């Protein structure tokens, strides 16, 4: 497969799903700045070079490939997604968007085509919060909206801080802000991504166009009660942190089910201490993720859930700590770029494009602070994502590649 194609994109994503590009032997886990992340960046840089790009690593650890425009000082059209993955994740989440960007550049390089703008493919290092409790850290840096990160922020495994991880990678936490492209001539940011939902499959469509990305709040909550012997602490005297957490989980589900505008709420992570079968749980750290199509709906639901969290803590005599870890506004995609993407999808599919709101967060949400954004969705089997069963077809991916190259041509005619 020596030509740009959907099949080659799928094969490359699959290659990167195994060691040394994964930290797991029997699955995919690629945390930011880890050995598997370095190996993956090296492999992606090879493919970028083969596609006619020069490559560099920015101050936040993002990999960037540059395909020069007609003039050295030409503005840039950015194409990208993220390199990191959740633990035991799928091969295509994030990575497919990076690979499709490389394939699109390779397509034009083979034809000897240059544009009045440069094409830049960017692989973001930390969209998932795969290593540190701060998702989309590196796109914040590129968009120029990164608040000074805490260099002592520990990773999830508590084996390194952000400062030490960056230092081991040859970077400096004090210079992450230098990855900012604010002030650079960036025309737009385009991201292709698997849908991570079942709509396209249910409608028999390979592609969809994203109109907006849902608002998100994510909290880290700690309940501290009192650990004690499971056989000797009487029920009325218990300060069981896990029992309190169970109340919150059910309340979050109830509140979200009663909501509108795509409201969802998830408690996706629990850390129970001391974690022994014969000990009353004395401390629980858990996450609460709230999303909706508008800020107002998200905010109302989040306040309801937080009220329950506080009420449970008071009633059960639990110490409480709540930290807001993620606060992302609903992000509409640029209407002009959306129109162009709709036209591109219509041209390659022969049917009007399906518009969707993304319930999942993407780097495009952050990049919207820098430049107009557009997103293309690709059908994934069963709508399954963040799961080893995640899959796409060669044919769908090829259609996505043709939509991307068509979009770039339309973009040139509109803005060139």
* Cis bond upstream, residue 20 (ω within 30): yes
Q: Please, are residues 51 and 67 in contact by the beta-carbon 8 Å criterion? A: yes
Give the Cα separation of 42 and 36 in Å (integer): 10
Could you tell me the end-to-end alpha-carbon distance of the chain, in angstroms, rounded to an integer?
32
Cβ-contact 222, 230 below 8 angstroms: no
Give me the sign of the Cα torsion angle 11, 13, 19, 20: positive
Which residues fall in the annotated binding site?
A: 82, 93, 128, 193, 218, 278, 291, 386
Q: Rounded distance, CA 376 to CA 195, Å?
A: 9
Annotated binding-site positions for Zn(2+): 82, 93, 128, 193, 386
User: Which residues neighbour 277 within 8 Å (Cβ) at sequence distance 6 or greater?
Assistant: 230
Q: Is 336 helix (H, G, I), strand (E, B) or coil?
A: helix
Q: Hey, which residues does 80 pair with through a beta bridge?
A: 122
Closest alpha carbon to 208 in 389, 81, 344, 381: 344
DSSP 120: E
Phi then psi for residue 304, to 5 deg, are -60, -45
Q: List residues bridging with 326 in a β-sheet.
A: 218
Compute the distance between CA of residue 77 and CA of residue 62 in angstroms, rounded to an integer.
16
Tokens of 173: 């936490």
Report the alpha-carbon distance of residue 90 to residue 389 in Å, rounded: 7
| Phi, psi (degrees; rounded to nearest 5) at 9 | -60, -45
- CB under 8 Å to 278, separation ≥6 — which residues? 229, 230, 231
Check if the beta carbon of residue 382 is closer than 8 Å to that of residue 201.
yes
Q: Are strands 279-280 and 228-229 parallel, antiparallel or unpaired?
A: antiparallel
**The residue to which tokens 């009220």 are assigned:** 307
Q: List the binding residues for allantoate.
A: 218, 278, 291
Write out the two tokens for 83.
């390199």
């Amino acid at each position: 497969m020596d030509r740009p194609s959907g099949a080659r994109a799928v094969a490359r994503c699959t290659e990167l799903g195994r060691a040394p590009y994964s930290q797991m032997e029997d699955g995919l886990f690629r945390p930011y700045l880890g050995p598997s992340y370095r190996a993956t960046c090296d492999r992606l840089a090879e493919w970028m070079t083969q596609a006619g790009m020069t490559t560099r690593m920015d101050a936040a650890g993002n990999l960037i490939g540059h395909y020069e425009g007609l003039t050295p000082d030409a503005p840039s059209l950015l194409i990208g997604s993220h390199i990191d993955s959740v633990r035991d994740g799928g091969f295509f989440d994030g990575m497919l968007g990076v690979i499709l960007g490389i394939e699109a550049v390779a397509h034009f390089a083979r034809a000897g085509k240059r544009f009045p703008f440069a094409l830049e493919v960017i692989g973001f290092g930390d969209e998932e919060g795969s290593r540190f409790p701060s998702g989309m850290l590196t796109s914040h840096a590129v968009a120029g909206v990164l608040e000074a990160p805490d260099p002592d922020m520990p990773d999830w495994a508590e084996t390194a801080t952000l400062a030490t991880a960056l230092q081991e990678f040859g970077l400096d936490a004090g210079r992450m802000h230098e990855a900012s492209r604010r002030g650079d001539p960036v025309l737009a940011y385009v991201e292709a991504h698997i849908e991570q939902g079942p709509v396209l499959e249910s409608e028999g469509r390979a592609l969809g166009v994203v109109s907006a990305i849902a608002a998100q709040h994510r909290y880290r909550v700690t309940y501290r009660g009192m650990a004690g012997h499971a056989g000797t602490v009487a029920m009325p005297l218990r300060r069981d942190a896990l029992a309190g957490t169970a109340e919150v989980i059910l309340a979050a589900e109830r509140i979200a089910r009663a909501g509108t505008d795509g409201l969802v709420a998830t408690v996706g992570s629990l850390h129970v201490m001391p974690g022994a079968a014969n000990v009353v749980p004395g401390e629980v750290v858990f996450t609460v993720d709230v999303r909706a199509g508008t800020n107002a709906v998200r905010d109302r639901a989040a306040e309801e859930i937080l009220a329950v969290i506080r009420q449970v803590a008071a009633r059960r005599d639990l110490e409480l700590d709540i930290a807001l870890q993620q606060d992302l506004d609903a992000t509409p995609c640029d209407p002009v770029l959306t129109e162009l993407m709709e036209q591109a999808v219509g041209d390659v599919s022969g049917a009007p494009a399906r518009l969707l709101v993304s319930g999942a967060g993407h780097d495009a949400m952050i990049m919207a602070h820098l430049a107009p954004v557009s997103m293309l969705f690709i059908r994934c089997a069963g709508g399954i994502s963040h799961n080893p069963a995640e899959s796409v077809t060669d044919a769908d991916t090829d259609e996505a590649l043709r939509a991307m190259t068509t979009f770039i041509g339309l973009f040139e005619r509109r803005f060139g």
